[in-house]
Amino acid sequence: MPELRGYAEFINSNSMIITVDFAYANYSAKADFFNELNRIMVTSATDNKVVSRTGAIFDLDTLAGTVSLQLYMQQVETAYQVVDHLSQLGVNQEKQMWKLGGN
């Protein structure tokens, strides 16, 4: 059991790498999403093989490669949406705190 507690403490202590405000986090996630989308579009137009950020190769000449690329793009979009929604939630919470503090 102590090993689990130590592992949880390690995860918790290393979970926050950088601290940014909500607007910058939203901008950064959006820029990452569109840069990846652009990179995939350019690569797929010039070559029938696309390499993901993780190193996976999607062969667009096969059905499996096309479906895998679609799933990868859904994952990239979902990651962007998570950051977008969390930053909106943070902004809304911040607004509520300012309202409560102002009265």
Mean pLDDT in runs of 10 for the chain (103 residues)?
A: 48 57 83 92 90 89 93 91 87 84 66
51 within a domain of the structure (yes/no): yes
Q: What is the identity of the amino acid at 21? A: D
Q: Which domain range does residue 66 map to?
A: 19-102
Number of domains in the chain: 1
40 within a domain of the structure (yes/no): yes
67 within a domain of the structure (yes/no): yes
The position carrying tokens 């679609």 is 70
* DSSP string across 17-59: -----HHHHHHHHHHHHHHHHHHHHHHHHH-SEEE-TTS-EEE
Q: pTM above 0.75? A: no
Q: Residue 15 corresponds to which tokens in the numbers above?
A: 């979970």
50 within a domain of the structure (yes/no): yes
29 within a domain of the structure (yes/no): yes
66 within a domain of the structure (yes/no): yes
Contact 67, 56 (CB under 8 A): no
* pLDDT for 2: 44
69 within a domain of the structure (yes/no): yes
